[in-house]
Amino acid sequence: MKFYVGIVLWLLSAVPLAAEELKLAVTTSFANSGLAEILLPAIAEGTGIDVQLLIVGTGQALKLGEAGDVDAVLVHSRAAEEEFVASGFGTHRREIMYNDFIIVGPTDDPANVGLATLATEAFAHIAGAQAPFVSRGDDSGTHKKELGLWKAAGIEPTGDWYRAVGQGMGAALNTASGMDAYILADRASWLNFGNKGDLTQLFGGDPALFNQYAYIPVNPALHPHVKAVAAERLEVWLTSDRARALIEGYTIEGQQLFVFNAER
């Protein structure tokens, strides 16, 4: 009997355990940056967690969290995130990394965006020239930032020159490239974008364009089925030295795309 028990235990030990799946809603800008392709294999190796990404805008990511359709979210719109946590849908908000937004447009820059000193001034130039502008129009973090900039500039963007496409960052950039239009983009997605056409980066560096990404576990008190323990393990990894090295080591065209700023 002991012989057979030993054989069974040996066979069980020889079969690799299936990785635990965790559903994580992330922004299209994060996915378009290419960083996920670097992080996910390392997460699986370091934690045994198979992270399944649901790639949507920040607004939709938070709605998935509210419904308990994901275990955690990684998004970039602080006001919406804080409301999500305050409403009890998330347990807490943990900052992980940041980059910035930039304004991209046609090389000849008919609206003279490149002469602006502030992002709101750049937006005023675009509106004043009624130059084609592509908006994400999808309640994403990028869209929320864009709307905030129009509001700060005292402008209500309307007319044929303003096109809201209701799409993710990559699709919106493709539309802007095809239209030779201006667009607000996160720097990482722009550098990783392969269909630039005649577009180029025209403006950046304004502190108003700061772009923070945060991780929020979904509240198991509201949704007992969510994988709270796995979400906690993922958070520990995302704030680790290994994550820092991979995030800050990720470059395109020699430019670092994200800065790790998780507090330990």
pLDDT in tens, 134-145: 999 999 999 999
- Angle formed at CA 141 by CA 181 and CA 211, multiple of 5 degrees: 90
pLDDT value at position 8? 38
Domain formed by 100-209, architecture: 3-Layer(aba) Sandwich (3.40)
pLDDT value at position 5? 41
Instruction: Count other C-beta atoms under 10 Å from residue 155's C-beta.
Output: 16
Whole-angstrom Cα distance, residue 190 to residue 156?
A: 26
| Mean pLDDT taken over the chain | 92
Q: Is the pLDDT of residue 4 over 60?
A: no
Whole-angstrom Cα distance, residue 151 to residue 163?
A: 17
Q: Identify whether the C-beta of residue 211 lies closer than 8 Å to the C-beta of residue 99.
A: yes
pLDDT value at position 17? 46
Give, rounded to a whole angstrom, the gap between the first and last alpha carbons of the chain.
Answer: 51
Nearest to 243 by CA among 51, 95, 43, 98: 43
120: its two tokens: 């709101």
What are φ and ψ of residue 30, in 5° steps?
-65, -45
| 55-114 pLDDT, tens digit each | 999 999 999 999 999 999 999 999 999 999 999 999 999 999 999 999 999 999 999 999
Average pLDDT over residues 40-54: 97
Strand blocks (E) in 57-204: 72-75, 94-106, 133-135, 162-164, 182-186, 199-203
Q: Identify whether the C-beta of residue 188 lies closer than 8 Å to the C-beta of residue 35.
A: yes
Whole-angstrom Cα distance, residue 193 to residue 143?
A: 18
Q: Is the pLDDT of residue 9 over 80?
A: no
Which pTM was predicted? 0.88
198: its two tokens: 């005649």
Helices (H) and strands (E) in the chain, counts: 11, 12
The CATH number for 2-98+211-260, chosen from 3.40.190.10, 3.40.50.740, 3.20.20.10, 3.90.230.10, is 3.40.190.10
Q: Which residues belong to CATH 3.40.190.10 in the chain? A: 2-98+211-260, 100-209
pLDDT value at position 110? 98
